[in-house]
C-alpha cells in the first residue's frame, strides 16, 4: 500500500496524461493505418460485405476521421465527452464490420476498450456543466459513479482472455492471482493497488507476447501482434485512470470510509 501511495505521489501530475495517451493509442494507430492502407482497407470491406465502392470508401473515411479526430480532441481536452461517444461508435461499427461480435475473445477486448472510454467519460464529466444536467447528483446515484463502476467491470474482461485453462502449476497460479486481482478491481476493494498490479502484469505480458517489432512488416503476424499490442496498451490506460482517480463512489473502498 505504501508503494502505491509513493507511486501516486511521484506521478500525480503526469499519470492522467499518460493514461489518456495509452487509452487512445489503439485508435491513433488504427486511424494512421487507415491512412496508409486506404486502398487495402477499402478493398477488404468491399469484398467481404459486397457493399460497393461508395459504402466501402465511406466506412474507411469514417474510421479514419473519427479515430484521429477523437484522439486529437481527447489529448487536447476539448469536447472530450463528444469524442468519447464518437469512439464508442467506432468500436460498435468495427465490431459489426469485422465480425468481432461472433468472436468471444475479440468481443471481450472491445468491451474492455469501451470500459476505458467510459472511465475517461466519467473523468471529463464536471458537476457544473454536464451532458446529464437535470439528473439527481446525490452521491449514491451520481451517473459519474456508475460510469466508473461500469468502466471497471468492463476493463477486467481483458484479463478473461488471458486465462490459460491447463493443469500446469504456473498457469493455475497465474489464473488464481489474476482472478483475485480482477475481482478486487471490479468490486472496488484495494482498487488502486490491485489496478497498479494489473498494469505491471499486463505491461509485462504485452511486451513479451505482442512484440510485433521483432516480426518483419511483410508477415501477417506483424499486424496481428501490433493490433493486440495497442489494444492491450489502451486497456492499460484505462487501468491507469483507475489508479489516478480511484474507484468512485460505488465501491467497497468508498463504503469502508462510511463504516
Give the closest residue to 127 by CA, choosing from 139, 140, 141, 137. 137
Q: Does 220 have pLDDT greater than 50?
A: yes
Q: What is the pLDDT of residues 137-181, one digit of tens each?
A: 444 447 888 888 999 999 888 887 776 666 777 778 777 888 888
pTM for this prediction: 0.84
DSSP state of 140: G
* Cβ within 8 Å of residue 248, ≥6 positions away: 122, 144, 145, 147, 148, 149, 152, 188, 254
User: What's the pLDDT band for 129 if we cut at 50, 70, 90?
Assistant: very low
Cα separation, 5 vs 209, whole angstroms? 30
Amino acid 207: pLDDT: 92
Domain boundaries, the chain: 1-256
Per-residue pLDDT averaged across 40-64, rounded? 90
Q: What is the pLDDT of residues 183-204, one digit of tens each?
A: 999 898 989 899 999 999 889 9
pLDDT over 80 (residue 6): no
pLDDT tens by residue, 93-120: 999 888 888 888 888 989 999 999 999 9
The residue ranges of DSSP E strands in the chain, in sequence order, are: none
Label residue 65 by pLDDT band (50, 70, 90): very high
Share of the chain above pLDDT 90, in %: 42
Q: What pLDDT was estimated at residue 137?
A: 43
Do 231 and 26 touch, CB atoms closer than 8 A? yes
Confidence of residue 134 (pLDDT cuts 50, 70, 90): very low
Amino acid at each position: 500500500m505504501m508503494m502505491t501511495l509513493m507511486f501516486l505521489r511521484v506521478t500525480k501530475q503526469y499519470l492522467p496524461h499518460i493514461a489518456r495517451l495509452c487509452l487512445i493509442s489503439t485508435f491513433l494507430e488504427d486511424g494512421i493505418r487507415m491512412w496508409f492502407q486506404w486502398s487495402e482497407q477499402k478493398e477488404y470491406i468491399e469484398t467481404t460485405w459486397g457493399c460497393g465502392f461508395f459504402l466501402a470508401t465511406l466506412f474507411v473515411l469514417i474510421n479514419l476521421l473519427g479515430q484521429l479526430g477523437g484522439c486529437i480532441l481527447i489529448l487536447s481536452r476539448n469536447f472530450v465527452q463528444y469524442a468519447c461517444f464518437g469512439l464508442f461508435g467506432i468500436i460498435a461499427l468495427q465490431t459489426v464490420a469485422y465480425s468481432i461480435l461472433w468472436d468471444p475473445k475479440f468481443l471481450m477486448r472491445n468491451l474492455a476498450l469501451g470500459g476505458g472510454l467510459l472511465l475517461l467519460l466519467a473523468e471529463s464529466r464536471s458537476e457544473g456543466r454536464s451532458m446529464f444536467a437535470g439528473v439527481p447528483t446525490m452521491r449514491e446515484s451520481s451517473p459519474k459513479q456508475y460510469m466508473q463502476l461500469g468502466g471497471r467491470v468492463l476493463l477486467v474482461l481483458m484479463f478473461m482472455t488471458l486465462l490459460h485453462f491447463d493443469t500446469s502449476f504456473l498457469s493455475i497460479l497465474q489464473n488464481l492471482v489474476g482472478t483475485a486481482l480482477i475481482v478486487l478491481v471490479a468490486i472496488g476493494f484495494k482498487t488502486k493497488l490491485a489496478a497498479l498490479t494489473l498494469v505491471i502484469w499486463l505491461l509485462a505480458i504485452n511486451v513479451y507476447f505482442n512484440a510485433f517489432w521483432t516480426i518483419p512488416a511483410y508477415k501477417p503476424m506483424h499486424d496481428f501482434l501490433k493490433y493486440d499490442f495497442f489494444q492491450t496498451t489502451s486497456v492499460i490506460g484505462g487501468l491507469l485512470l483507475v489508479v489516478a482517480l480511484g474507484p468512485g463512489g460505488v465501491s467497497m473502498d468508498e463504503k469502508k470510509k462510511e463504516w
